[in-house]
Amino acid sequence: MGKDIVIRIGGEGGEGVISTGDMLAQAAARAGLEVLTFRTFPAEIKGGYAMYQLRISTEKILSQGDTFHVCVAFNGEAYEMNKDLLTPGTVLVYDSPGGDFQSEPIEGVIQYPVPMTKISKVDLGSLLSKNMVALGAVMQLFSFPVDSLKDLIKAKFKKKGEPVVEMNLRALEAGAEYVRSHLKKVDRFYVQPAQPREDRIMLSGNEAVGLGALVAGCRFFSCYPITPATDIANWLSRHLPKVNGVVVQAEDEIASLGQVIGASFAGVKAMTGTSGPGLDLMVELLGFASMAELPIVIADVQRGGPSTGLPTKSEQADLFLAAKGGHGDFPRIVLAAATIEDCFYLTIEAFNLAERYQIPVILLSDGALASRTEKIKRPDLSKIRIINREAYSGNGEYQRYAVTETGVSPVSIPGQAGGRYIATGLEHSETAAPKYSPDYHEKMTEKRFRKIAAIEDEFPEPECEGDEGGDLGIISWGLTQCAVKEAMRECADRGLRVRALYPKLVFPVPVKAIRRFASTVKKVLIPELNYQGQFAELVAAHAGVSAIRFNLYGGLPFTPAQIREKITEVIK
Amino acid sequence: METIQQLKPKDYKSDVPPIWCAGCGDYGVLASLTMAFSLNNVKPSDTVLVSGIGCSSRLPYFVTTFGMHTCHGRALPVATGIKLARPDLRVVVVGGDGDHFSIGGGHLPHAARKNIDLLLIVMDNSIYGLTKGQVAPTSRPGMVTTTTPYGSLDLPVNPVAYALVYGASFVAQSFSSNTKLTADLIGKALNHKGFAFINVISPCPTFNKVDTFEYYKPLLKNIDEIHPDKGDKVRALSLAMTMGKENGEVPIGLFYQEERPTYIEMIQEIKIKNKGTDHPDLERIMDILRP
């Protein structure tokens, strides 16, 4: 068998699909395996189709994979959604007899009926235990570590009392026992044993952003709840008070960014987390922050748009907004995360850049990355560099917006007697007094843009892989990089001459790296999850490199197979 | 202990001359503010004046404290961020009725109910002056302005009632030419623990020919005579809703004051419960994320 196993669990939202998946993922991670999850939620609280997919391997996992090996169907809808994806050699575990559907024989597909509903309702007397019965069956069928799962159940239900723990353990055992006594394993999938490694943490993209903020020194976070960004706030709400930080739920996104700007003016590192509709509302204050030269960080966890769009799905369609949104000319920096590690390290980088250049920095993530959990190498905090804004020394006549060679001027904070100034959205002089003369508007606009004129040289060079002189070069950004990376492995195996560039700084566009890269390949391909080819447009406009575009806009991330097929098609 | 020499009102005035029209009510508010700062020994470098957009929102430039001249309607959220991040600072928000009852009208309720420890002074002139005379949220029905040539169709906002029902813990009203009362109320508000709101009726002689000094003078009534119990919220609300320029009497003075925990105090408790520290062991927080 292959070195990894992909299990997909589908059912009605609220039925325990997510918690079953979480348990399996945690159990595998505890047992020393690498884990990466992928999930889709319905936008509704109860009802609608929910799906949780976990990929388990003994080696580092790059993406959610192409498809699944095992499908666990809690109900008829899950079966209908996935039956066409069941290919020869794959496995279907489903609720039968006694479930709400009958499966049909599918050629080459191994089917294991497990009466999840019946066992929970009739034998255990509570339909609530259905997911535990399913968990027990899956555990038995694919050799999940029993002790890890039992420990997790005990920990999860401890607060609800011993009877609840017992009931869940009984349900787990009932599912396992049914498999032992009624089914014969004929598939070839099982979870490989591994050695637990101490230096690992497991977290979601949103949690990684929260952790990154905490490590970067963020001590003020204001937000307004919005899918799929809310978990950043949820995580920080629990942990920021431990470092004397403050989390506020504001009345709307405008207020969140307003508060963040106020906190930054007061000298505290501050951030907000939102999604597209929230970023729309923040744009006026984004311009203010850039004009007043206040460091702020915004995490935009992109979802399908426009308008309310697809709240629980993924898209990479906020790039124009992040890079260009707002009236007037003002600088900002946009970073894009592709992995859980990126969510952590780029959040720290976002704060460092914001502080260094006294500028707004937007970190783009997306719904799939936000909710995926993954086991990663525990960050070595001693190696992390933290940058703080250049402070006013307190000596001499203070000019808040002194025109300097780098464009960066030392900043005072309230409490510094000689550092008094009025932060303003009006065009202003060196001393922050309103000043609208043509020469000043030009001089100050240039000063603000000068701060990031050399940003590309000061930012780590984007990672590049594959041989020079390739037939094709792929430039990807955000989550799409994961699918490209995995596709690249197979290209190498098949001897295809393909190169790939993985920029994390997406705006200002790293034009030098892109031009250099483009000059080493015959054609350039830019795959992205949006209709307009937003990064391709920016690359064309700023770097003068025109690329073949590959756009998906259905709300789901690229799979490695989709990238591989496109590569083959383009190279041909 | 170090004694700080008391600054005089003029010491709080910056060298930037106000850009207001002659006769503007906002001069009175500026005078009252610097007077109150002087009387209450306010340290300019530990104080931040925050404003939005409008004639009155220019005020921070004319004072020697730190300041922020933010976007239209957004002064309160920005001020909230300053205060929550740095509770040691004194934060005063100034602006007009457009800022706080129209474009930013959604923010006042939340600063009030959270009891954010800051002072909001609204200079209420019932007109948009900076854009040269459009209808404002406190304009009276039927008022003719450039955007309501056939008369305003809207019911005006009642600033005092608005602040009261949303839970402001200090609510007062004053009149701009009565600098003594205004300075006294500002002083009380500066010493109040929690969200303080003062609506200062501040006539615009250039674009509002209806709500003038002369119009208001005979209507103003000291509220203390008829409302001595400042903790009686129902009475305060009743007065706010029954008295007004349309009803022949405009009460000025303190309407309501209560003591209740501020947001900062409550946040402080959460920090203490979580053993909050400035020198955290981040490794321990990361341990939570072990599978």
CATH number (domain holding residue A31): 3.40.920.10
β-pairing, A4-12 vs A49-57, is: antiparallel
Do residues A262 and A213 share a domain?
A: yes
CA torsion sign for A509, A515, A516, A521 is positive
Do residues A535 and A520 share a domain?
A: yes
Cβ–Cβ contact B280 with A under 8 A: yes
Report how far residue A444's alpha carbon sits from residue A330's, in angstroms, rounded to the nearest whole number.
Answer: 11
In a domain, A80, yes or no: yes
What is the reported pLDDT for B83?
A: 98
Secondary structure of residue A223 in the 3-state scheme: strand
Report how far residue A26's alpha carbon sits from residue A35's, in angstroms, rounded to the nearest whole number.
Answer: 8
* DSSP state, residue A268: -
Report how far residue A470's alpha carbon sits from residue B155's, in angstroms, rounded to the nearest whole number.
Answer: 70
Give B45's contacts in chain A (Cβ within 8 Å). Answer: 414-417, 419-420
Report how far residue B104's alpha carbon sits from residue B83's, in angstroms, rounded to the nearest whole number.
Answer: 18
What is the reported pLDDT for B4?
A: 59
Low-confidence ranges of chain A (pLDDT < 70): 1-2, 42-46
Do residues A564 and A445 share a domain?
A: no
In a domain, B19, yes or no: yes
What is the reported pLDDT for B197?
A: 98
User: Are B104 and B96 spatial neighbours (Cβ–Cβ below 8 Å)?
Assistant: no
What is the reported pLDDT for B2?
A: 46
Q: Both tokens of residue A209?
A: 């952003």
- Closest in A258, A268, A378 to B78, CB measured: A258
Structural domain of residue B13, as residue ranges? 9-287
Do residues A520 and A488 share a domain?
A: yes
Do residues A244 and A279 share a domain?
A: yes
* DSSP state, residue A390: P
Last residue of a domain, one of A422, A453, A484: A453
Last residue of a domain, one of A436, A453, A470: A453
**Is A424 close to B68, i.e. CB distance below 8 A?**
yes
In a domain, A188, yes or no: no
**Rounded mean pLDDT, B84-106:** 98
Q: Both tokens of residue A86?
A: 């069941």
- Closest in A215, A219, A422 to B68, CB measured: A422
Q: Which residues pair with A335 in a beta bridge?
A: A363, A505
DSSP string, chain B: -PPPPPPPGGGGB-SSPP-PPTT-THHHHHHHHHHHHHHTT--GGGEEEEE-SSSGGGGGGGBSSEEEE-STT-HHHHHHHHHHH-TTSEEEEEEEHHIIIIITTTTHHHHHHTT-S-EEEEEE-SEETTTTSEE-TTPPTT--BTTBTT---SPPP-HHHHHHHTT-SEEEEEETT-HHHHHHHHHHHHTSSS-EEEEEE---TTT-SSS-HHHHGGGEEEGGGT---TT-HHHHHHHHHH-BGGGTBEEEEEEEE-----HHHHHHHHHHHTT--SS--HHHHHHTT--
- Closest in B60, B85, B273 to A270, CB measured: B85
Last residue of a domain, one of A453, A468, A497: A453
Only one residue has tokens 């609720």, namely A95
In a domain, B3, yes or no: no
Judged by phi (left if over 0) then psi (alpha if -120 to 50, else beta), residue B194 lies in: left
Q: What is the CA radius of gyration of chain B?
A: 20
Q: Which of residues 488-547 of A touch B (CB under 8 A)?
A: none
User: Are B38 and B7 spatial neighbours (Cβ–Cβ below 8 Å)?
Assistant: yes
Q: Which of residues 251-270 of A touch B (CB under 8 A)?
A: 251-252, 254-268, 270
In a domain, A193, yes or no: no
Q: Which residues pair with A50 in a beta bridge?
A: A11
How many angstroms away from the CA of A281 is the closest CA of chain B?
A: 12
* DSSP state, residue A119: I
Which distant-in-sequence residues (6+ apart) come within 8 Å of A377 by Cβ? A199, A200, A341
Which distant-in-sequence residues (6+ apart) come within 8 Å of B52 by Cβ? B70, B71, B72, B73, B74, B75, B95, B96, B99, B100, B103, B104
CATH number, position A481:
3.40.50.920
Do residues A153 and A132 share a domain?
A: yes
Number of domains in chain A: 4
Task: For residue A90, give the nearest of A53, A134, A127 by alpha carbon.
Answer: A53
Q: What is the CA radius of gyration of chain A?
A: 26
Q: Which of residues 169-208 of A touch B (CB under 8 A)?
A: 200-203, 207
CATH number, position B237:
3.40.50.970
How many angstroms away from the CA of A441 is the closest CA of chain B?
A: 18
Do residues A173 and A207 share a domain?
A: no
**Is A263 close to B81, i.e. CB distance below 8 A?**
yes
What is the reported pLDDT for A557?
A: 94
**Is A258 close to B74, i.e. CB distance below 8 A?**
yes
In a domain, A290, yes or no: yes
Beta-carbon count within 10 A of A199 CB: 10
Report how far residue B252's alpha carbon sits from residue B220's, in angstroms, rounded to the nearest whole number.
Answer: 7
Total length of chain A: 572
CATH number, position A371:
3.40.50.970
Minimum Cα–Cα distance from A151: chain B residue: B291
Number of domains in chain B: 1
Report how far residue B67's alpha carbon sits from residue B51's, in angstroms, rounded to the nearest whole number.
Answer: 8
User: Are A537 and A375 spatial neighbours (Cβ–Cβ below 8 Å)?
Assistant: no
β-pairing, A4-12 vs A70-73, is: parallel
User: Are A40 and A17 spatial neighbours (Cβ–Cβ below 8 Å)?
Assistant: no
Do residues A138 and A114 share a domain?
A: yes
Give A205's contacts in chain B (Cβ within 8 Å). Answer: none
Minimum Cα–Cα distance from B81: chain A residue: A259
Q: Which residues pair with A40 in a beta bridge?
A: A51
In a domain, B275, yes or no: yes
In a domain, A187, yes or no: no
Q: Both tokens of residue A37?
A: 């999850």
Do residues A562 and A509 share a domain?
A: yes
Secondary structure of residue A56 in the 3-state scheme: strand
Minimum Cα–Cα distance from A222: chain B residue: B81
Among residues of chain B, what percentage have pLDDT more than 70?
99
Identify the band that residue B239 occupies on the pLDDT scale cut at 50, 70 and 90.
very high
Do residues A152 and A210 share a domain?
A: no
Which distant-in-sequence residues (6+ apart) come within 8 Å of A55 by Cβ? A4, A5, A6, A35, A36, A37, A38, A61, A64, A65
Do residues A230 and A378 share a domain?
A: yes
Q: Which of residues 376-395 of A touch B (CB under 8 A)?
A: 378-379, 381
In a domain, B67, yes or no: yes
Tell me the residue type at B260: R
Interface test with B, best of A24, A240, A265 (most B CBs within 10 A): A265
What is the reported pLDDT for A469?
A: 83
Characterize B226-265 residue by residue with b for buried, 16 or more Cβ atoms within 10 angstroms of its Cβ, and e for exposed: ebeebeebebbbebbeebbbeeeebbbbbbbbeeeebbbe
**B174-188 pLDDT, tens per residue?**
999 999 999 999 999
What is the reported pLDDT for A470?
A: 86
What is the reported pLDDT for A44?
A: 67
Helix %, strand %, coil % of chain A (to 5): 40, 20, 40
Interface test with A, best of B69, B72, B263 (most A CBs within 10 A): B69
Structural domain of residue A157, as residue ranges? 4-182
User: Are A239 and A214 spatial neighbours (Cβ–Cβ below 8 Å)?
Assistant: yes
Check if the interface score ipTM surpasses 0.90: yes
Q: Both tokens of residue A362?
A: 């937007």
Total length of chain B: 291
For residue A97, is the peptide bond before it cis, meaning its omega torsion is within 30 degrees of 0?
yes
Q: Which of residues 131-160 of B touch A (CB under 8 A)?
A: none
In a domain, A130, yes or no: yes
**Is B68 close to A244, i.e. CB distance below 8 A?**
no
In a domain, A192, yes or no: no
User: Are A243 and A59 spatial neighbours (Cβ–Cβ below 8 Å)?
Assistant: no
Tell me the residue type at A261: I
Pairs across A and B, CB distance < 8 A: 182
Do residues A563 and A534 share a domain?
A: yes
In a domain, B2, yes or no: no
Minimum Cα–Cα distance from A432: chain B residue: B61
Report how far residue A195's alpha carbon sits from residue A217's, in angstroms, rounded to the nearest whole number.
Answer: 34
User: Are A56 and A22 spatial neighbours (Cβ–Cβ below 8 Å)?
Assistant: no
Task: For residue A322, give the nearest of A338, A298, A354 by alpha carbon.
Answer: A298
